[in-house]
């Protein structure tokens, strides 16, 4: 009858007990929803203290391959870049130490960690005697299983986090869209004397486009268009504050110079110079037949009257929210106009690109407007957007497109 090696049985029993305890601890930690760093620390302790592994480097694929656990090595693998292409993952267990490329030549074993055929992590082992692997004192199958449990748990955490981030992002977009929706006037005049029409083609993201019509009194009205830098809730809230400030100011004064100076101050206070707004506003006095306007860094609207060709309204100043004092501020003024046309837009219109990376540009807009001055405003907008979409093809938009037109007779 063969003799029984009690010492060997005892060692194997103790090893199995350590492995079982390690699995229990890992499972409890995952169920307790411990953070990723804690799971990596448990993995470190289990391999180093319980399984007596002398050298370990655990590389995990996130946005790039990163070393998450490293101990016992001569080199610091936390600062070593890793390319999976240097290994043949079909037969990793068969690697001899001499076959490992630098700087991984101090390891003897390399274990892949997969989930649904996706390579998630790689465990490098080294420093132990080859006999330890042969006699089962180092159970590579267990280490691989342990690694798989931890890495998959961490991947699930990442997945849940991404889903939560996506839900939060969608909620933010919904709020921003609602804020932006309330910025736009519900009703625009469209009668025999005054016709105002708008179109809005949103980008996938929520931008900060804004336009408005404000009846000041029976003789005066204001039309304006603006665009804020940035996207999402911050942009929508800044533009909401901008709208409130404008509507308050217009009740106090119709001097455009005072209005843009105060708006510039308000934006600076609210954004600390981190955002800016391009803005165009015009006030028409029916009694005086006078149009005054200011362009604060916005794409120049197109203007046409019986006494002028199609021109761009450029006079004004720079964008609002950058400088404490607005430079070269100048108010444009046109007199004795009782029949005129106005077309304004945000930069999303001219910054549309086609598949050849050509920009739609102001010249195309100019030609469309010039050739369709006799159309009603709705048909004109449809023509512009049709040309843009034909030019754009399947290329995604870079920004929102807002159009605002006005005819006075």
How far is 216 from 251, CA to CA, in rounded Å? 7
The pLDDT of residue 378 is 94
Residue 7 has pLDDT above 70, yes or no: no
Residue 180 confidence (pLDDT) above 90? no
| Of residues 47, 10, 9, the one with CA closest to residue 25 | 47
Sign of CA dihedral 156, 159, 165, 169: negative
- Encoded tokens for 134: 């042969």
260 and 329, same structural domain? yes
Residues 96 and 211 in one domain: no
Residue 293 lies in a domain: yes
pLDDT value at residue 267? 92
113 and 194 in a single domain? The answer is no
Least confident span in 105-114, 203-212, 273-282 = 203-212
Instruction: Over range 213-236, report the average pLDDT.
Output: 88
Distance of CA 19 to the CA centre of its chain: 45
Q: End of a domain among 125, 159, 193?
A: 159
At residue 28 the predicted structure's pLDDT band, cuts being 50, 70 and 90, is low
Q: What is the CATH number of the domain that holds 55?
A: 3.30.450.40
More confident: 20 or 272 = 272
Q: Judge whether 211 and 224 are in contact, CB under 8 Å.
A: yes
Confidence check: pLDDT of 87 > 70: no
- If one counts the domains in the chain, the total is 2
The pLDDT of residue 62: 80
pLDDT of 9 > 60? The answer is no
Same domain, yes or no: 212 and 139: no
Portion of the chain with pLDDT greater than 90, in percent: 35
Residue 270 has pLDDT above 70, yes or no: yes
User: Which pLDDT does position 1 carry in this prediction?
Assistant: 44
> Distance between CA 113 and CA 93 in Å, rounded?
13
Please indicate, yes or no, if residue 164 is contained in any of the structural domains.
no
DSSP state of 396: P
- The first and second tokens of residue 244, run together, are 């409130």
The whole-angstrom separation of Cα 107 and Cα 52 is: 15
Least confident of 38-47, 164-173, 277-286, 363-372: 164-173
Task: Indicate the pTM of the whole model.
Answer: 0.65
Contact 250/262 with Cβ under 8 angstroms? no
Report the CATH number that the domain containing residue 218 is assigned in CATH.
3.60.40.10
For 206, the domain range is: 176-408
Question: Does one domain contain both 46 and 153?
Answer: yes
Specify whether 201 is located in the same domain as 325. yes
Reference 220, options 184, 245, 186, 256; nearest CA is: 256
When pLDDT is cut at 50, 70 and 90, the band that residue 264 belongs to is very high
In a domain, 2, yes or no: no
In a domain, 168, yes or no: no
For residues 311, 317, 320, 323, the Cα torsion angle rounded to the nearest 10 degrees is 160
State the pLDDT at residue 370. 92
Q: In what order do the strands lie in the sheet with 308-312?
A: 194-201, 401-408, 340-345, 302-305, 308-312
Tell me if 170 is assigned to some domain. Answer: no
308 and 398 belong to one structural domain: yes
The residue to which tokens 């089962």 are assigned: 136
Average pLDDT over residues 337-352: 91
Residues 220 and 352 in one domain: yes
Lowest-confidence region among 50-54, 181-185, 288-292: 181-185
Whether residue 3 has pLDDT greater than 70: no
- Residues 135, 48 within the same domain: yes
> Residue 48 forms beta bridges with which residues?
none
Q: Is residue 1 part of a domain?
A: no
- Is residue 140, in this structure, part of any structural domain at all? yes
Query: What confidence tier does 85 reach under pLDDT thresholds 50, 70, 90?
Result: low
pLDDT score at 31: 65
Q: What's the longest Cα–Cα distance across the chain?
A: 122
Report if residue 167 sits inside a domain.
no
What's the pLDDT at 49? 74
**Domain check: are 211 and 274 in the same one?**
yes
Question: Are 366 and 244 in the same domain?
Answer: yes
What is the predicted pLDDT for the residue at 20? Answer: 62
Q: What average pLDDT does this structure show over 255-261?
A: 96
The one-character DSSP state at 308 is E
Do 20 and 133 reside in the same domain of the chain?
A: yes
By percentage, how much of the chain surpasses pLDDT 70? 82
């Amino acid at each position: 009858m063969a003799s029984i090696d009690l010492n060997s049985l005892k060692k194997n029993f103790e090893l199995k007990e350590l492995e079982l305890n390690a699995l229990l601890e890992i499972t409890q930690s995952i169920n307790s929803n411990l953070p990723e760093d804690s799971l990596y620390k448990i993995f470190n302790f289990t391999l180093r203290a319980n399984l007596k592994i002398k050298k370990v480097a655990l590389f995990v694929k996130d946005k790039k391959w990163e070393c998450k656990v490293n101990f016992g090595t001569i080199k610091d693998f936390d600062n070593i870049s890793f390319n999976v292409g240097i290994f043949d993952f079909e037969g990793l267990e068969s690697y001899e130490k001499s076959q490992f490329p630098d700087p991984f030549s101090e390891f003897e074993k390399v274990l892949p960690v997969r989930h649904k055929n996706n390579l998630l992590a790689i465990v490098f082992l080294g420093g132990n005697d080859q006999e330890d692997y042969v006699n089962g004192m180092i159970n590579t199958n267990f280490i691989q299983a342990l690694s798989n449990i931890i890495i998959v748990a961490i991947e699930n955490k990442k997945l849940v986090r991404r889903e939560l981030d996506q839900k939060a992002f969608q909620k933010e977009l919904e709020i921003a869209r609602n804020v932006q929706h309330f910025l736009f006037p519900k009703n625009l005049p469209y009668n025999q004397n005054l016709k105002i029409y708008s179109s809005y083609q949103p980008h996938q993201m929520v931008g900060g486009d804004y336009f408005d019509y404000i009846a000041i009194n029976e003789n005066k009205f204001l039309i304006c268009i603006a665009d804020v830098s940035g996207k999402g809730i911050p942009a929508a809230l800044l533009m909401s504050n901008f709208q409130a400030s404008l509507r308050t100011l217009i009740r106090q004064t119709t001097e455009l110079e005072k209005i843009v100076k105060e708006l510039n101050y308000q934006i600076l206070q609210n954004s600390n110079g981190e955002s800016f707004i391009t803005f165009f506003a015009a006030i028409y006095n029916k009694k005086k037949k006078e149009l005054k306007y200011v362009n604060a860094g916005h794409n120049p609207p197109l203007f046409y009257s019986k006494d002028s060709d199609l021109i761009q309204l450029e006079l004004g100043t720079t964008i609002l929210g950058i400088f404490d004092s607005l430079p070269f501020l100048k108010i444009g003024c046109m007199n004795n106009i009782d029949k005129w046309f106005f077309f304004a837009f945000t930069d999303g219109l001219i910054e549309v690109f086609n598949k050849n990376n050509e920009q739609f540009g102001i010249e195309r807009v100019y030609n469309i407007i010039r050739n369709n001055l006799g159309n009603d405003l709705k048909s004109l907008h449809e023509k512009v957007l049709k040309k843009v979409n034909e030019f754009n093809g399947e290329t995604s938009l870079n920004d929102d497109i807002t159009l605002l037109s006005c005819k006075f007779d």
